Amino acid sequence: MVVLEDFTLTQAGVDIPAEGPAACCPRCGRAGIEQSSEKGPIFVHSQLSEILGDGMRTEPQDCCVLPSPTRSA
C-alpha cells in the first residue's frame, strides 16, 4: 500500500507520529517536517510511504533543501 502524506495541511507544532513535530519551512514558509538526507538537511512538505514486508520505505515528493549549518571556528 502506498500513501501520500501531505504535511502542508498540518499546523506548526503538531507532533506527527514517526516523523516529529511539524514546523514552518525557513525557505518557503509552508508547513513540513525537518529531516536529514544524503544531500544535507531538507524540509519535507509531502512524501510517499510504502509498507513492505521487511519495513517501510519513504520518499520525499516535495521538499526544500536547507543550507548546511556552518561551523564556528
pLDDT in tens, 12-47: 999 998 889 999 999 999 999 999 888 889 999 999
Residue 54: Cβ within 10 Å count? 5
The pLDDT of residue 55: 85
Domain coordinates of the chain in residue numbers? Answer: 2-65
What Å distances lie between residue 65 and 13, 37, 40, 42, CA to CA?
21, 9, 7, 4
Q: Residue written as cell 525557513?
A: 26
Quick: pLDDT tens for 41-69.
999 999 999 988 888 888 999 999 988 76
Asked if residue 71 has pLDDT above 80, the reply is no
What lies within 8 Å, CB to CB, of 57 at 6+ separation is 49, 50
The pLDDT of residue 21: 95
